[in-house]
Chain A
Amino acid sequence: MADARNSIHVPAPKFRPGDTPDFSHLKLPRAGETPKPDVDADPAKIRDLAYGLVRVLDHNNQAVGDWNPELEAKVLRQGLRHMVLTRIYDDRMLKLQRQGKMSFYMKSLGEEAISVAGVMALDAADMLFPSYRQQGGLIARGKDLVEMMCHCISNSKDNLLGRQLPVHYTSAAHNWFTISGNLGTQFPQAVGWAMAESKKGGSRVASSWIGEGTSAEGDFHSACTFATVYRAPTILNVVNNQWAISTSQVIAGGEATTFAARAIGYGIAGLRVDGNDFLAVHAATQWAAARARGGHGPTLIELYSYRAEAHSTSDDPSRYRPKDEYKAWPLGDPIARLKDHLILLGEWTEDRHAALEKEMTEHVVKSYKEAESHGTLHDGPLSPVHTMFEDVYAEQTWNLRRQRQDLGV
């Protein structure tokens, strides 16, 4: 081993291609073990939560402990439906990308509970500042699948007029902010939105998501600083899915401490949550939202999970981590866990699940047919070219007018 005084310590993930992954070294608290404080708790009194793990579903997928949100079965079924649809949508979109129907795609396999429960636990009026892997949240908000697809294939009905890469959804009608490709910029913007809400005396909260890799950006510090100073009604979510493209969470500072523990230095509430547990994500989000709405300040939530798929269609994870490492991940599959929980409750069956998958598959296939009838990036029709020169300013300036004329559109 290199002498620590004479070399740079560069942390590395435990397993590389060819290794057999084994996560038994992770000391994960059991379901029900991490206590649930009151929503107005003093952050200084609940620091342990940043090192714990909010879990509701135990190894038998029974809901246990104080954090059990005790949701009605129909809400759980709704959550399951959104998650299943998200997964099937992702699968289909990836295949279409491989067929050249769109330029780029990003799946959220294994992270569906984070996006779906993290949105379902909020009010429809609450504002979302997502990153690019929260498509499940947009589905949970009821966005039309055809519209999502039209954006991804940049066709004549793309509501963004072909200006953004696929999956950078924008939907003001769903209180879904315009997704940036620059990492973390939305985090302090969400805080500003929430400050304006305080000014207006409103009761809405803002929720934002970044990855654990992005928590190294200055915008993370910006968001936490402004959120604590102005006690902004915000939920700041850090999705720790272990990987930032090829870079392990240890390179983002995960070797030394948890990402939730970053909250402690800012004096804000920090929760570490099993991101593959629909009930835990829902309960933690609901707690943070109530805290924000009550004027008790922001919450930083680390959602502990695993990115089961490639970062994007431009990535090849077999070059930096063991194949199928996600199968060894100790927190399991969020869809399977919620499904088994519902079956345990007598509120779901394998047959109903199979029927749901079939229904969602048909919905996705049918939606894509309709989306494709409005064109594809490859074959057109696209949005009219002259729209390229619009919306730069509220009114087109002389230089843009001349440039449009120069292009002859």
Chain B
Amino acid sequence: MPAKNMIQAINDGLDVLLDTHDDVLVFGEDAGYFGGVFGCSQGLQKKHGLDRVFDTPINEGAIVAAAIGMATNGMRPIAEIQFADYIFPAFDQIVSELSRIRYRSAGQFTTPLTIRTPWGGGIRGGQTHSMSPEAFFTHIPGIKVVVPSNPYDAKGLLIAAAECDDPVIIFEPKRLYNGPFDGDPNKPALSWAKHPKGEVPDGRYTVPLGEAEVVREGSEITIVTYGTLVHVALNTAEQEGVDAEIIDLKTLAPYDIDTIAASVNKTGRCVVTHEAPRTSGFGAELIAQIQEECFYALEAPIARVTGWDTPYPHAHEWSYFPGPERTARAIKRVLEA
């Protein structure tokens, strides 16, 4: 199987979708001729034509609104929002429209469309190119929210999202685009070529929405996470010699409570990690649900490792980023409690 980085895997996924579905359209700011600022749609306009892969004006609200209109006229649009930080001009169209078209029309109209957007920090992007705004979107009934953590899943989840009859937002961890990242910015960059999940099969395959994956089996503690921090958690467990069970959520809405609960009921200890700020972050939902499901199996309070309740800083990025050191401290605290 060919090794691909996450950008190449997403590009391949879009290519497969454009090949196999006449109703798929790909568009966004700089997404057409140029192929996207990260290159995810590079070469696709040339291959599939100007009116299937095209550039849009700088207007995220219009991008999503137009995608809604297209979806109600038989298309399966895949819209790119250039950075997750830029999604907010489209918030009304997502919250008030996209999420509810099926519901408010009692199924007469549906909006099978996908929004892809680069997400998260770790690339010195400062406050406007580093956000993890997933919790705003997991709070909206009617939207599915996906965060891949590797090239294999990125392609499989993209195809599953595009073929799904519900609207899906895919937050793509941009720090992982070119290689896995274990949380230490001083180490040389890693490559997907040497990672098993960098093996991306050609052609169509899907990774199911709504299913988490146990990416490391363990017995001492469960770490529930998604996106970039999956790799940080794996690295921390190795470094600290902790027999942790690590769950990559992949889909945040609807999240896979069965996989989480089975693991926490087994280990009795749990740490939840995410890059987004702590207060009202997605971790709050996970922890509330875990304590409802697993309270009598818990040996210690559940801990959270998150970004701080500040905007994402530029110069102090590595003091903000919930890396291996903070993750290790939380694991230790929970193990010793």
Residues from chain A with a CB closer than 8 A to the CB of B141 are 392
Q: Given A170-B108, A171-B108: A185 and B69 within 8 A (CB)?
A: no
A178→B105 contact, CB < 8 A: yes
A394→B102 contact, CB < 8 A: yes
Q: Does A222 contact B (CB under 8 A)?
A: yes
Chain A contacts with B in 138-175, Cβ cutoff 8 A: 159-161, 163-164, 168, 170-172
Segment at the B interface, from A60-68, A188-196, A284-292: A188-196
B61→A218 contact, CB < 8 A: yes
Q: Does A223 contact B (CB under 8 A)?
A: yes
Most buried by A among B96, B107, B142, B144: B107
Q: Given A171-B108, A393-B166: A222 and B73 within 8 A (CB)?
A: no
Q: Does B87 contact A (CB under 8 A)?
A: no
B72→A193 contact, CB < 8 A: yes
Residues from chain B with a CB closer than 8 A to the CB of A163 are 103-104, 106
Q: How far is the CA of A309 from the CA of B3 in the complex (A)?
A: 67
Q: Does B200 contact A (CB under 8 A)?
A: no
Q: Given A218-B89, A225-B57: A398 and B66 within 8 A (CB)?
A: no
The smallest beta-carbon distance between B164 and chain A, in angstroms, is 8
Q: Does A180 contact B (CB under 8 A)?
A: yes
Q: Given A391-B107, A393-B144: A189 and B254 within 8 A (CB)?
A: no
The listed residue (A170, A180, A195, A397) touching B69 by CB distance below 8 A is A195
Residue of B nearest to A160 (CB): B106
Bitwise interface map of B from 237 to 259 toward A, beta carbon under 8 Å scored 1, else 0? 00000000000000000100110
Chain B contacts with A in 68-110, Cβ cutoff 8 A: 68-75, 77, 89, 92-93, 96-97, 101-110
A164→B104 contact, CB < 8 A: yes
The smallest beta-carbon distance between B283 and chain A, in angstroms, is 17
A-B contact count (CB 8 A): 137
B166→A189 contact, CB < 8 A: no
Q: Given A199-B75, A391-B106: A397 and B70 within 8 A (CB)?
A: no
Bitwise interface map of A from 217 to 228 toward B, beta carbon under 8 Å scored 1, else 0? 011011101100
Main secondary structure of the interface of A (DSSP, over half): helix
Q: Does A200 contact B (CB under 8 A)?
A: yes
A170→B104 contact, CB < 8 A: yes
B65→A222 contact, CB < 8 A: yes
The listed residue (B52, B65, B69, B110) touching A194 by CB distance below 8 A is B69
Q: Does A399 contact B (CB under 8 A)?
A: yes
Residues from chain A with a CB closer than 8 A to the CB of B70 are 192-193, 195-196, 199
Residues from chain B with a CB closer than 8 A to the CB of A263 are none
Q: Does A102 contact B (CB under 8 A)?
A: no
Q: Does A28 contact B (CB under 8 A)?
A: no
The smallest beta-carbon distance between B32 and chain A, in angstroms, is 12
B108→A197 contact, CB < 8 A: no
B69→A391 contact, CB < 8 A: no
Size category of the B interface is 35 or more
B74→A196 contact, CB < 8 A: yes
Chain A contacts with B in 329-368, Cβ cutoff 8 A: none
A199→B25 contact, CB < 8 A: yes
Q: Does B218 contact A (CB under 8 A)?
A: no
The listed residue (B77, B103, B164) touching A392 by CB distance below 8 A is B103
The smallest beta-carbon distance between B224 and chain A, in angstroms, is 16
Residues from chain A with a CB closer than 8 A to the CB of B109 are 170, 172, 177-178
Q: Given A178-B105, A397-B210: A196 and B73 within 8 A (CB)?
A: yes
Q: How far is the CA of A394 from the CA of B75 in the complex (A)?
A: 17
Q: How far is the CA of A197 from the CA of B70 in the complex (A)?
A: 8
Most buried by A among B59, B62, B75: B62
Chain B contacts with A in 101-121, Cβ cutoff 8 A: 101-110
A188→B61 contact, CB < 8 A: yes
Chain B contacts with A in 248-295, Cβ cutoff 8 A: 254, 257-258
Q: Given A163-B104, A229-B57, A397-B254: A189 and B165 within 8 A (CB)?
A: no
A185→B142 contact, CB < 8 A: no
Q: How far is the CA of A185 from the CA of B141 in the complex (A)?
A: 19
Q: Does A314 contact B (CB under 8 A)?
A: no
Q: Does B217 contact A (CB under 8 A)?
A: no
A178→B104 contact, CB < 8 A: yes
B residues with CB within 8 A of A: 25, 51-52, 56-57, 59, 61-62, 65-75, 77, 89, 92-93, 96-97, 101-110, 141-142, 144, 164-166, 210, 254, 257-258
Task: Taking A192-B66, A193-B72, A226-B66 as given, write out 12 further A-B residue pairs in contact, using a Cβ cutoff of 8 Å, ordered by the A residue number.
Answer: A163-B103, A163-B106, A172-B108, A188-B69, A192-B70, A199-B51, A219-B65, A391-B106, A392-B102, A394-B110, A394-B166, A398-B257
A residues with CB within 8 A of B: 127, 129, 159-161, 163-164, 168, 170-172, 177-178, 180, 182, 185, 187-200, 206, 218-219, 221-223, 225-226, 229, 391-394, 397-399
The 6 closest A-B pairs by CB, nearest first: A192-B69, A192-B66, A222-B62, A188-B65, A193-B69, A196-B73
